[in-house]
Amino acid sequence: MCRSPTPIRPRLPSWLPTEGSLPVRESVAVGSAAASSAAARALRPTRAEVNLAALRRNVNRLTELAAPAELWVVVKANAYGHGALQCARQALAAGARGLCVALVQEAVELREAGITSQIMVLSEQSPHAADLLVAHDLTCVVYNQHYIAALSAAATRAQRQVKVHLKIDTGMHRAGVDPAQAVELARHIVTAPGVVFEGVMTHLATADDPHHPATQRQLAQFEHVLADAARPRSTAAEFAECTCRTCGATARMSASTCSNWASWRCVAG
């Protein structure tokens, strides 16, 4: 005679609520798609507490380190999970000049929440987003002619201007125009109606080590493009701002090359 094996009940962590331990008002019916907030917290008790005083102190210190350059704080991806709106307000109050995000949606959310400072959208967006970018007075990062043309058309339709920064790929190979084509694209920006050529930028891959050969190569490449653009008849643009991105660059390197620094990791500590 065969007996059915005794079912093995898994041992659950002691902090999990047991059957019948939740109050009736918090219990979940079988098959229900919704769980009470209390039950959800019990299942995932992890939480993050953000010290806003520490954040303000970090931003204030970084503005001092970056001077005379300006600090722009990156709050993309909900400020990397810290809360974009709260962190944006604290950073601006502590001396940050502007904010950086990855998506137009993130920028619009900040605008609708009352943020009036400059906001830079670090990635090229769909050309279909051009009207939205112009309407919310967002600073755009560009590195191809199609995007520049879309922004120019949107600015012309709205009878407004749109500020852009040209991103140069000096070695990180994530995004940006090839250095050999940078001056030609800068010339294209200058002639685009409604487009204000506000600056050039690059993204340092290993800026936490200012003496790393890769960092030195990127900075040398960046400076070479700037020098090439400054030659007579090279382009009619004057680069008002030169921006280098990464926390390490802000904390460890001279601001002699760049007038803006964009950072988050140092802000969060």
Its pTM stands at 0.76
Nearest to 162 by CA among 113, 89, 104: 104
Q: How far apart are CA 65 and CA 11, in angstroms?
A: 53
Q: Which residues contact 68 (CB under 8 A, 6 or more apart)?
A: 255, 259
pLDDT of residue 89: 98
The tens digit of pLDDT for each residue in 173-201 reads 899 999 999 999 999 999 999 999 998 89
Max avg pLDDT among 110-114, 208-212, 222-226: 110-114
Domains of the chain (ranges; CATH) run 52-268 (3.20.20.10)
The tens digit of pLDDT for each residue in 105-147 reads 999 999 999 999 999 999 999 999 999 999 999 999 999 999 9
